[in-house]
Structure 1
Amino acid sequence: MQKQSIFAEFTEITPSAPIDAERHGWRAKCLQRLIRLDLPVPRTVALSADTVRAIAAGVTPDTARLAAAFGGALVTIRPSPANPEWGGPTTVLNVGMTGAKHAEIAAVHGRAYADALYLGFVQSYAIHVARLDPDMFTAEPSPEALAAALAAYEAEMDEEFPQSPARQMGEVLRSMARAWEGTTARLLREAKGAPSDAALGLVMQEMAQAVGPGLSGTGTIQLIEPVTGAPQVTGRFRGLNPANRKAEETLYLVRDRRGHSLEDAAPEVFAALQAHCRTCRERLREEMLIEFALENGVLKVIDAVKVQRSSRASVRVAVTLATERIISRDDAILRVEPRALSELLHHQVDPRAPRDRVARGIAASPGAASGRIVFSSADAQAAAARDERCILVRRETAPEDIRGMHAAVAVLTERGGITSHAAVIARGLGLPCIVGASELSLNPRDRVIVTRSGRTFREGDVITVDGTNGEVLAGSAEMLEPALDEWFTTLLHWADNVRDIGVRANADTPDDARTARMFEAEGIGLCRTEHMFFDEDRLTVMREMIFADTAKDRKVALDRLLPMQRADFIALFDIMAGLPVCIRLFDPPLHEFLPHDREGMRELAEALDRPLSEVTRRVEALSEFNPMLGLRGVRLGVTVPEIYEMQARAIFEATVEASRRGAAVVPEVMIPLVSAKREVELVKTRIDAVAAAVRTATGADFTYRMGVMVETPRAALRAGEIAQHAAFLSFGTNDLTQMTYGLSRDDAGRFMGDYVNQGVFPEDPFHVLDEDGVGELLLIGSARGRQTRHDVTLSICGEHGGNPASIAFCRRSGFDYVSCSPFRVPVARLAAAHFALKDPDIAQGNKVISND
C-alpha cells in the first residue's frame, strides 16, 4: 500500500495537470507553462519531491508503470529543484537504451548512430549511476569502443550491463535521489542560499531522436546577447551538413556568409523558434533560452531556462521588460541584485576573453585595470606624469601613499583586509583594488613579485587587477566599458521613487564630490578633512605646524593652511549646490603626517631647516604604542585647539562665499572620536566663538549644524547626554567595530577567513555589520539620543553604509540616511528600494523620497 500511494505520485505534465513548483520543482512547472503555450514539448512526466525522498530512503519505484508511460521510447531524466540556482544531480540521457534497442535504431538510422547513442549512455550510466572510475569510460564512439565499455562495466560490476529499461530507470532515479541527499551536494546548495531541507523533484521526458532523412540536430536559441543584453539572436545548432548528409557540423542560427545556417536550411523552423522565444518572453515575462531538437525536420522544444546574463545585461533586460509593460517597475527593481551594480560603474574584464590568473586576493574595490607594476607612490606619480598607466603594488598602503593611489589605475597589496587603508581609499577613488594577496611574495628592494607557482614579475611588467573577483592576471586583459547608460539611470530613478531612507556619499575632495553628484547622492555624509593635507604643497606646511613649539607658532603655520582649506570647502559647497555637506574635523594622529624612514627624515630636516637629530627626536616623541587609540580626533581638538579653530573658520568663510554666489549652504560640522559630553562642550564653545567672529568680520549671517561621530562604545552608551549638544549623531562603524571587537581592521584579514570558516563569526564584521554586538550599540545609542532629542538626525557613515544588509538594519532601526563611498551610492539606492518593496510596513521616521 505504501508503494502504491507513493507511486501514484508521478504525473504526466499536461496543461491541466496539478503541477506545483514547490512539490515538483521549477523545471516541471516551466515545462507545463511551455505546454500551455502550445509549444511542441515531448511527453513528460514529473516525480514529486515526496516521491524522490521515498526513493532516497529505499522505497523501490514502480518503474514498470513509468516505462510503460513512454511506450518503449528512450527517456531523459533531469533534476527539478524548487530553485534553478540550487543545481542538482547530473542529467542522464537515453535511459532505456539496451542491446535490443540498439539493434532497432541501427536498422533504421545506421550502425554508427546507434553505436554512438549506446556508448554515450553506457559511459554516463557507469560514471553517474554505478559510480565507476571515469577514466575507464572516456573513449570516442566506435564499434570497438562500445564493446570495450560494455566489457569494462561487466568486469567492474560482475554482471552484464542492465538490459531492462525498467531496471535502468529505477537505478538512475535512485542514484539521483541519493546524490541530492549527500553531504557534499547539501553543502553546495546551502552555499547558494538553499534551505537545509530543500527538496528535489525529477522530470522524465521522451528523448527527441535528432536523426532522420530530413534536417535533424539539437540546439539552443535566445533573443539577447548575454553580456550586453542587446537584442540579438544567439545560440547554436548541431546537425547534419545540408550539403553532405553524412557529415555533422555546427550551423549558425542566423544567415551568415561564413557558413551554413539554420535560417538558410529551414527558414520556417528558424521563424518558429524566434516566435517561441517571443511568446516565452511575453507570457513567462522573462528572456528565455530554448533548448530544441529537430527530428527529421520536426521541431521539438525540450526545455527553456532563464538566459544566463551579465549584470549589465540584467539591468537592460529588466528595464526593457518594464518599459514594454511586460513586468511592473517594482518587478524590474527587484530583479536586479544591488551588488551587481558595482560591476556597471567600472571597466570590467570581458568574460568572453581568456584569463591568465596568477594569484587571488580579497576583492576590495570593484572594477579592472591593466598597467605596469610600480612599487612606490613616487614611481606611480612619475608614471602618471609620463601618461603611463601603472598599478601600485605595496605590502600595505599608508596615508602617505594617497598621492600614489591617485596616480595609479589600480592598487594591489600583499596584506590587509576589506576595511584596510588601501581598500577604503580605493573604494572612495573608484580604483580597482585587491588586498590580502597572500599568494604573492613581494620584494620591494629588488622590485620583484613571485607567485606561489614560481612565476616572476618585475617592475614595468604589465598585469591586470580584477577588483571585482579578486584575481591578478598576467598581461593586459580585454575590457568592457562602464555601463552608465539609459537603462542604469532609469532603474535607479525608479528605485528612488520607492526607497524611504536617504543615501549620501563619503567625499573628501572636489573629485569625490563630483562623482557623488554623478551618482545622485543626496549630499555628503562624511568629508574627511585630513586627506586634504596630504597634497605636496600642504604636507610641508602641516609638518611645520606639527613641529611648532608654541600655540603662536602653530597659528602661523595654520594661517597658511587656512586659505587652502577654505578653497577646498568652497569647491565642495559649489559642487553640491545646496545639498548637505557633513565635514568631519581633523581625526588622525599627527604621526601619520611624518616620515618614518631615515631618508624621509633627512628630507624633512632640509625642508624645515632643522637639525636631523631634532627631527628624529620629535618623530620619536610623537610616536605612540597604539596610535589609533591615542592622541587623535577630539582629543587633538581639546589639547591643540588651534587646528579645529582654523578648520571651523575655513568652513564658515567658505559658507559665506559659496552662499553669495549660489544656493544657501548649511554646513554640518562633525566632531570625531567623542567619548564624553564634556569634550563636545569644549569644542562646541570654541567653534561657536569662531562662527560669531566670522559673522562679525563678513557681515553675513549663516547657520550650521553641529554633530558628533559616534565611534567609541562609550559614546554609544552615553548618547543621551551627548545628544544635548548635537543636532546629529553619525555612527562611524569602522572604528566602532574595531573598538567593540578589540580588533585591528588592518590586521584582521590575516585570520578572518579562518574565523568565518570555523563559525566564530558568521561574516567578516568589517564587511557586514555585526547586528548582534555593534548593532546593539547602534540601537542603544540611537534610542538614547532620540530620547533626549527627538529630532536628532541618525546615520551611519562607515564602510557598512554601502552594504545592503547593513542598510536593511539601518532602515529597520529608523535611521535617516546612510553614507558610503561614492561608487557604492548606486548599490545603496537600489538596496534601499529593495527593502522598501519587500518590507513596506516598517515604521520609518524618514520622509519618503520621490525623485520623478
Structure 2
Amino acid sequence: MATRKKTAKKAARKAASTKGPKYVYTWGNGKADGHGKMKELLGGKGANLAEMTLIGLPVPAGFTITTEVCTYYYAHKRTYPSTLRAQMEAGIANMEKIMGYKFGDSEGFPLLVAVRSGARDSMPGMMDTVLNLGLNDKTVEALSKATDNERFAWDCYRRFIQMYGDVVLGVQKREGEDHEPFEEVIESFKHETYGKDIVDSDLTAEDNKELVARFKKLVKDRTGQGFPEDPWEQLEGAAGAVFSSWMNDRAIVYRRKYGIPAAWGTAVNVQAMVFGNTGTNSGSGVAFTRNPANGENELYGEFLVNAQGEDVVAGVRTPDPVSGMEQALPQAYKDLLKVRKILEKHFTDVQDVEFTIQDGKLFMLQTRNGKRTAAAALKFSMDMNKEKLIDWQTAVLRNPADQLDQLLAPVFDAAELKKTPEIAKGLPAGPGAASGKIYLNADRAAAAANKGEVVLLVRVETSPEDLRGMIAAEGILTSRGGVSSHAALVARQMGKVCICGASGIEIDYDKKTVKAGGQSFKEGDYLSIDGTTGIVYGGQVATEPSEIITGLINGKKSSQNTEKFQHFVQLMDWCAKATRMGVRTNADTPEQVKTAVAFGAEGIGLTRTEHMFFEGDRIDAMREMILADNETNRRKALKKLLPHQRKDFFGIFKALEGKPATIRLLDPPLHEFLPHTKEQQLDLANKIGIPVETIMQRVHELHEFNPMLGHRGCRLAISYPEIAEMQAQAIFEAAAQCVKKGIEVKPEVMVPLVGYARELELQVEIIHRIAAEVKEKKGVEFDYLVGTMIEVPRGAVTADEIAAHAQFFSFGTNDLTQTALGVSRDDMGSFLNSYTENDIYPRNPFASLDTTGVGQLMEIAAAKGREVRPDIKLGICGEHGGDPDSVKFCHKLGLAYVSCSPYRVPVARLAAAHAAINDGSAPKAAKKATKKKSAKKAAKRAKK
C-alpha cells in the first residue's frame, strides 16, 4: 500500500510539473533544454552551462530555475509558484539518472548539489552560493563509506554547514566584528589543537568532525534552531537564499555601479557536485583563456590541489598558477588546454572558466566572458581581429567606453621609484599605479574617500561585503588570495589598481596597523602599489603620464613605438570610420585645445569666456567694470579687457587649425568675480583707487539668494549690452587676424541661458552689427554662426520660436538638469546617496543624463528646432558629453556632435562608435589603413 501511495504521489507531481509555465530547464549528458542565447531567462551561468553541454564539454548534470521565478518570488512575498517543487523534483530525478546517485541517499553514494546564482550579466561574488548540499548526519556516513575516504566526507560536511549557516541561516559577522564567525571558530581550533595556523587540507577526519560539532553549536547559539537535516528543506532554503541575495546590499551597490536593472532578477542553478577535495589527484581552479590583466595570449589562472572552488575564489588560501597543473595533474592540464581552444572558437571571446578535477578527470562548472582591464580589452580585440575570430566592428565593441580612461591613467615616475624602497611583493592583479592613505576596513575607507582622501583598501582578503570600500578606493592590496580571488576579479572590472597575495605584509585589524619590509604603517599613512609589477612601496610616490599620453600629446617616439600605443591609434581610427556623430572638446586655452585635437577632437563645443578673466591682472579690469557706476566707466574698463580676450581667441583659433569653435558669451553672475573677504576688498580698493566702502556696497547689491537662477547669462548682456559688444568684437577681431595670416577660422558665437526668443533676438542684433563693423574696418571676410545654449526648460519647449534666430543649439545639460530637476549639483551631496539607494535616481543625474526627464526636453527642443530650421546644428556641451550612456542617447537623438573635457574625448569617440555600430549606421567594410600607417599619422599630428 505504502509503495502504491508513493507511486501515485510521484505520478501526481510529475503531471503537475508539466502544467503551466516551464520554470526548470535541465542539462546533462550532451542534452539541454536551453542554450547560450537564453540569458534573459536562464541567466548567464545557466545559459552557458547548457551551451557547454550541447557542444560536448564535460559538464556535471543540473538544472536552472529561471529568472521568472525570481520575479514571482519578490512579487508574492518571497514564495514560489505552486508547480515549482514538482519541476525541481523532475530536475533532481534527471540528475540522479545521469549521475547514478540518489539525492538524500543514506545507504549508497548520495547525490550532493551546488546551488549557485546566475544573473543575466555576470556579478562576481555579489550573490550567494551553497556547495555540498544534501549532507546530514546520515548521508555524511554514507559518503564516507562509499568513497572509503572519511576525511573527505567530513571535510565536505564541515564546508556545507559553514556555507549554509552563513548564506541561508544568516550566521554572519556582527557590527564591529572584523572576522567571520565560522572562520573565527576554525582559527581558534587550529591554534588550540596545533598551536599554529595550518591549511584546511591538513585537517584530519577527526578535526573536521569536531569542527562540525562546533559549527552546529554556533548555528544553534546564533539562530536558536538546529541545523536542518532534510535535503529538500536544505535545497528550498538555499534556492530562497540565492533569490534573496539578488536584493542584498552588495548586489544592489554593484548593480547601481554597473547599471544592471533590478527587474532582471537572477536564476538559480542546481548542479551535481564533483569533488576537488578527494585527495592529491583532485583539485579546483579558475582560469582565463587569455591574461585578463595585460591581454597576453596565455592560459591564465590558478588552482589548488585537494580543494573546492570556493577555496580559490575566496582568497583564504593563496593558490598556485594554473601552469603548475602540468606537473601536478598532467592529463587534466592537457584536457583544459583543449577546452580552452574549443571555448574561444565557439564563443569568439576570452572566457573565464571554473573547473574541478575529481580523481584526475576534468569537469567544467562555468564559463562566461572574462572581466578584463582596459589594456587587456584593447589587446584582446586587436589580436582576435588579427586571428580572424572577430571583425573590426566587433573589436571596437569589445573595448568598453567607460573603461578607456584606464589606458590614459598615470604610471609611477621612474626616477621617484629608484628612491623609494620596495617593502613587499604580491601578485599583479590590476595594472596601474596608485598611492593613497591606507584603511583596513571598507566603511572607514568609504568615509575617508567621501572626505576627499585618496584611499588604498588593505585587507587580509576581501569579501563581497567590502564592495563599498573597493569602489571608494584608488587601489586594493591583500595579503592572501590570488589573481582569481574576489579582490582581483572585482578590481579588474572596476579598473582599480590591485595586488593580491602579498604575503610579506602583516595586517593587524585590532591595532589598525600594517607591517612590511621592517616598517610599520598605521591607518591614514601612505602606501603605493604597482598593480602591473605587484610591488608595494612605502610612502607616497609621484606619477607621470601614460605612454599613450606621451605618444599622442608629447610626440615621444619611444611611446609611439609601443604595441599599446599602436593598438590605441588603430582603435581610434576604427572609431572615426564607424562614427556618425562628431566629438568636440570643452576647452578654454590653446594648450587644452592641442591636447583634445591630439585625441581626435573635431573642434570646440564650449569655450567658457569667463575663465579668461581670472588670469593675471585682468581680473582687476573685470572688477573695475563691475564696480563702475555708469556705462562710460564700464566701457573704459572693458576696453582694458578687449586685447586680452582677442589674444586668447586668436590662440585658440590658431590651435584649432580651421576646426570650428563654439564660444559662449559671459555666463556667471557678476558677484562671482568680486572679492568677498574684507582683506581682499581692501587690497582691491588700493589697487584701483576707490573707497573700500564702495566695493562692500556693490558686493551687497549683487548678492543673490539663488545665483543659479539669477542675473546671469543673456540677462547680463541685456542689462549691460556693452559686455556682449566687447566679447563679440574680441572674437571677430581675432578671426580677422587669422584670415590675414592665412589661418582658417570657424567661430560660432553662443548666447547662454536663453528662455525667450526675444532675448536671443536682441543679442543676435548686437553680434551681427559688431561682425559687420569688424569686417569693414579690417577689410576681410569670414563666416560665422550664432546660436544659443538650451539650458532652461522654457528654452526647450519654445525651441521653435528661438530657432528663428539661432543657427545652432547646444544643450547645456549641466544647467538643464539643475533647472529641470530643481536641484543644485553643488548641494545634492547631502541626499544623493538616499536617492540612489531608494532607486529614485538610477544614477547621479549630473554624471549620466536623465534621459526620461531631461532627455525629453532635449527631444522636444530638437524636434521643434528642426521644424523651423531643418539644417539647424545640434550639439551638447554639458559634462554628460563624456559619459558613454549619455553619448549613446545623443546619437539616438541625431545630434551633430557631443563635447567634453579633453581627456574624455577618446571615451566619447568610442561610445559614439559603439552607438553607430549597434544601430547599424556604421559601414561594414574593414578599414584598409594599416596599424603602422595609423601610428605614423598620429605621430605627425602630435608633432604639429
From 221, 224, 227, the equivalent of 2:287 is 221
> CA shift at 1:732, angstroms?
1.8
Structure 1 match to 2:35: 20
Change (3 A) 1:363 1:633: farther
Residue type at the aligned position of 1:487? H
Structure 2 match to 1:325: 388
> CA shift at 1:98, angstroms?
6.4
From 100, 107, 111, the equivalent of 1:71 is 100
> CA shift at 1:700, angstroms?
1.6
| Residues 13 and 28, structure 1, Cα contact 8 Å, conserved in 2 | no
Structure 2 match to 1:340: 403
| Residues 882 and 905, structure 2, Cα contact 8 Å, conserved in 1 | yes
Q: Secondary structure at the match of 2:831?
A: helix
Residue type at the aligned position of 1:503? V
> CA shift at 1:35, angstroms?
4.8
| Residues 80 and 203, structure 1, Cα contact 8 Å, conserved in 2 | no
Q: Which runs of 5+ in 2 are unaligned?
A: 1-10, 19-23, 71-79, 102-108, 173-179, 191-202, 308-315, 413-428, 457-473, 475-495, 497-511, 513-520, 530-537, 549-564, 930-944
Residue type at the aligned position of 1:347? P
> CA shift at 1:596, angstroms?
0.1
1:45 and 2:62 aligned: yes
> CA shift at 1:790, angstroms?
2.1
Deviation string, structure 1 residues 364-417 (Cα, Å, up to 9, x no partner): 9999799xxxxxxxxxxxxxxxxxxxxxxxxxxxxxxxxxxxxxxx9xxxxxxx
1:178 and 2:240 aligned: yes
| Residues 345 and 367, structure 1, Cα contact 8 Å, conserved in 2 | no
1:833 and 2:913 aligned: yes
> CA shift at 1:200, angstroms?
2.2
1:239 and 2:305 aligned: yes
Change (3 A) 1:292 1:741: closer
Q: How does 1:391-470 map to 2 (within 5 A)?
A: none
Q: How does 1:127-206 map to 2 (within 5 A)?
A: 127-128=166-167, 135=181, 138-139=185-186, 141-148=203-210, 151=213, 156=220, 162=229, 168=231, 170-182=232-244, 185=247, 188=251, 193-194=260-261, 196=263, 198=265, 200-206=267-273
Q: C-alpha separation between the residues in 1 aligned to 2:652 and 2:452?
A: 25
1:61 and 2:128 aligned: no
| Residues 293 and 299, structure 1, Cα contact 8 Å, conserved in 2 | yes
Change (3 A) 1:34 1:549: same
1:562 and 2:642 aligned: yes
Q: C-alpha separation between the residues in 2 aligned to 1:35 and 1:367?
A: 49
Q: C-alpha separation between the residues in 2 aligned to 1:92 and 1:477?
A: 44
Q: How does 1:340-359 map to 2 (within 5 A)?
A: 340-347=403-410, 351=430, 356-357=438-439, 358-359=444-445
Structure 2 match to 1:490: 570
Q: C-alpha separation between the residues in 1 aligned to 2:452 and 2:616?
A: 28
Change (3 A) 1:769 1:104: closer
Q: C-alpha separation between the residues in 1 aligned to 2:744 and 2:651?
A: 14
| Residues 164 and 238, structure 2, Cα contact 8 Å, conserved in 1 | no
Q: Which runs of 5+ in 1 are unaligned?
A: 242-247, 256-260, 371-409, 411-431, 433-452, 466-473
Higher mean C-alpha displacement, 270-279 vs 536-545: 270-279
> CA shift at 1:744, angstroms?
2.7
| Residues 55 and 173, structure 1, Cα contact 8 Å, conserved in 2 | no
Q: Secondary structure at the match of 2:34?
A: coil
Deviation string, structure 1 residues 733-756 (Cα, Å, up to 9, x no partner): 222333334333322332343344
Q: How does 1:597-612 map to 2 (within 5 A)?
A: 597-612=677-692
1:313 and 2:328 aligned: no
Change (3 A) 1:184 1:625: same
Q: C-alpha separation between the residues in 2 aligned to 1:807 and 1:66?
A: 48
Change (3 A) 1:291 1:773: closer
| Residues 499 and 836, structure 1, Cα contact 8 Å, conserved in 2 | yes
Identity %: 34
Structure 2 match to 1:696: 776
Deviation string, structure 1 residues 237-274 (Cα, Å, up to 9, x no partner): 32279xxxxxx99774477xxxxx43445566545433
> CA shift at 1:10, angstroms?
6.5
From 106, 125, 131, the equivalent of 1:92 is 131
Residue type at the aligned position of 1:119? R
Change (3 A) 1:323 1:639: same
Q: C-alpha separation between the residues in 1 aligned to 2:162 and 2:239?
A: 20
Q: C-alpha separation between the residues in 2 aligned to 1:148 and 1:309?
A: 42
From 633, 645, 665, the equivalent of 1:585 is 665
Q: How big is the alpha-carbon RMSD for the aligned residues of Structure 1 and Structure 2?
A: 4.4
Q: C-alpha separation between the residues in 2 aligned to 1:51 and 1:715?
A: 47
Q: C-alpha separation between the residues in 2 aligned to 1:202 and 1:67?
A: 16
1:743 and 2:789 aligned: no
Q: Secondary structure at the match of 1:642?
A: helix
Q: C-alpha separation between the residues in 2 aligned to 1:480 and 1:92?
A: 47
From 344, 367, 387, the equivalent of 1:281 is 344
> CA shift at 1:705, angstroms?
0.9
Residue type at the aligned position of 1:200? A
1:83 and 2:94 aligned: no
1:30 and 2:96 aligned: no
> CA shift at 1:574, angstroms?
1.7
From 799, 810, 819, the equivalent of 2:890 is 810
Deviation string, structure 1 residues 119-166 (Cα, Å, up to 9, x no partner): 33344455556666884784364444444455568875998984xxxx
> CA shift at 1:668, angstroms?
0.4
Q: C-alpha separation between the residues in 2 aligned to 1:219 and 1:203?
A: 19
| Residues 281 and 358, structure 2, Cα contact 8 Å, conserved in 1 | yes
Q: Secondary structure at the match of 1:182?
A: helix
> CA shift at 1:101, angstroms?
6.0
> CA shift at 1:759, angstroms?
5.3
Q: C-alpha separation between the residues in 1 aligned to 2:95 and 2:807?
A: 73
| Residues 60 and 364, structure 2, Cα contact 8 Å, conserved in 1 | no
| Residues 591 and 623, structure 1, Cα contact 8 Å, conserved in 2 | yes
From 134, 155, 164, the equivalent of 1:116 is 155
> CA shift at 1:547, angstroms?
3.1
Q: C-alpha separation between the residues in 2 aligned to 1:89 and 1:531?
A: 52
> CA shift at 1:573, angstroms?
1.2
From 739, 757, 769, the equivalent of 2:849 is 769
> CA shift at 1:361, angstroms?
7.1
Q: C-alpha separation between the residues in 2 aligned to 1:615 and 1:159?
A: 78
> CA shift at 1:185, angstroms?
3.8
Structure 2 match to 1:650: 730
| Residues 347 and 369, structure 1, Cα contact 8 Å, conserved in 2 | no
Q: Secondary structure at the match of 2:292?
A: coil
From 690, 701, 706, the equivalent of 1:626 is 706
Change (3 A) 1:365 1:30: farther
Higher mean C-alpha displacement, 145-154 vs 553-562: 145-154
Change (3 A) 1:619 1:462: farther
Higher mean C-alpha displacement, 661-670 vs 482-491: 482-491
| Residues 42 and 208, structure 1, Cα contact 8 Å, conserved in 2 | no
Deviation string, structure 1 residues 556-580 (Cα, Å, up to 9, x no partner): 4333322222221122112211111
Deviation string, structure 1 residues 610-657 (Cα, Å, up to 9, x no partner): 332333233333333333333322232233233222222221122123
1:518 and 2:585 aligned: no
